[in-house]
Amino acid sequence: MNRADPQLEVRPLAGAIGAEIHGIDLRSPLADATVARIREIWLQHSVIFFRDQPLPPRDLAAFARRFGEVVHYPFLKGLDEAPEVIAVAKLEHERVNFGGLWHTDTAYLERPPMGTMLVAREVPPYGGDTLFASGYAAHEALSDAMKRLLDPLRAVNSSSKAEKTRTREDRKAGEERKVLEAEHPVVRTHPETGRKALYVNFGHTLRFVGMTEEESAGLLAYLFEHQARAEFTCRFRWEPGSIAFWDNRCALHNPINDYHGHRRIMHRVTLAGDRPQ
């Protein structure tokens, strides 16, 4: 039997995005009402964090399933004990980290993920924090004229762009990686909250539909810089057993690569999304 709904304590990390949730043990069975409350907090803050939750891979995947359909990441093999879970690692001898730039996950898919969960297994003695940025705040801060300009635009998002930035994701994929591309609106309407979010990202957005890369470069450069403004962001310091759960439809993230010579091991689960509108 599921236990009664606990009294959750919500501690916002910043004004625009992010909150820690305390007063819950995710290793215990969760009532439907508790899961519904967590989802409310998640939708309000776009990314939520839990401390001291060392869920084994299978339990992490089971927790994720309470919020949606768990899907496989397109390029990396999952763990043997939980194929839906992938390892996100940087080892002591490596200099490049996984996804080390501002991005939303796999925007080059026709149906990008709804959300992503990440749990810390091993963390460096310092560094390795992750930044998150609000697509809502980025859109709301634009001038009315810029909003009118962007509203009808669509953008091409390509997995090939990441090859130019050379994150560890691409190095691991190697020769087996094929190019995936998808067109999505530059301004996305969230299907649950109804709020509008700026939906381009430095990691994957290549150009505007109907324009060349050269023609698109100036405006995209402005948008990439704009969406990472400090007042739109929060910063999370990992500890073993920390979990982050972000809404990939309205939040960007950027893992900081500042811990050379140390190991950082994370496990990640991805939730199926819909076609951006």
Q: What pLDDT, on the 0 to 100 scale, is given for residue 170? A: 44
Domain map of the chain by residue range? 9-271
pLDDT over threshold 60, residue 100: yes
Beta strands 47-50 and 19-22, pairing class: parallel
- 158 phi and psi angles, rounded to 5 deg: -135, 140
The pLDDT of 50-60, averaged and rounded, is 96
Q: What pLDDT, on the 0 to 100 scale, is given for residue 73? A: 74
If pLDDT is split at 50, 70 and 90, which confidence band does 175 have?
very low
Which residues on adjacent β-strands are paired with residue 270? Answer: 71, 116
pTM tops 0.85: yes
Type of residue numbered 158: S
The pLDDT of 63-80, averaged and rounded, is 88
Which residues are known catalytic residues? 103, 105, 253, 268
If pLDDT is split at 50, 70 and 90, which confidence band does 174 have?
very low
pLDDT over threshold 60, residue 168: no
Among the ranges given (59-73, 112-126, 172-186, 261-275), the one the predictor scored with the smallest mean pLDDT: 172-186
CATH superfamily of this structure's domain 9-271: Clavaminate synthase-like (3.60.130.10)
CA distance 9 to 52: 15
CA proximity to 27, closest of 241, 270, 266, 265:
241
Exposure letters 210-225 (e unless 16+ CB within 10 A, then b): eeeeeebeebbeebbe
Among the ranges given (118-132, 150-164, 262-276), the one the predictor scored with the smallest mean pLDDT: 150-164
pLDDT over threshold 90, residue 257: yes
pLDDT over threshold 60, residue 242: yes
pLDDT over threshold 90, residue 25: yes
Among the ranges given (64-78, 163-177, 238-252), the one the predictor scored with the smallest mean pLDDT: 163-177
Q: What rounded mean pLDDT belongs to the chain? A: 92
Q: What pLDDT, on the 0 to 100 scale, is given for residue 173? A: 47
Q: What pLDDT, on the 0 to 100 scale, is given for residue 162? A: 63
pLDDT over threshold 70, residue 265: yes
pLDDT over threshold 90, residue 240: yes
If pLDDT is split at 50, 70 and 90, which confidence band does 128 have?
very high
CA distance 251 to 46: 6
DSSP 27-41: TS---HHHHHHHHHH
The pLDDT of 173-182, averaged and rounded, is 70
If pLDDT is split at 50, 70 and 90, which confidence band does 133 have?
very high
pLDDT over threshold 50, residue 43: yes
Q: What pLDDT, on the 0 to 100 scale, is given for residue 2? A: 40
Q: What pLDDT, on the 0 to 100 scale, is given for residue 3? A: 46
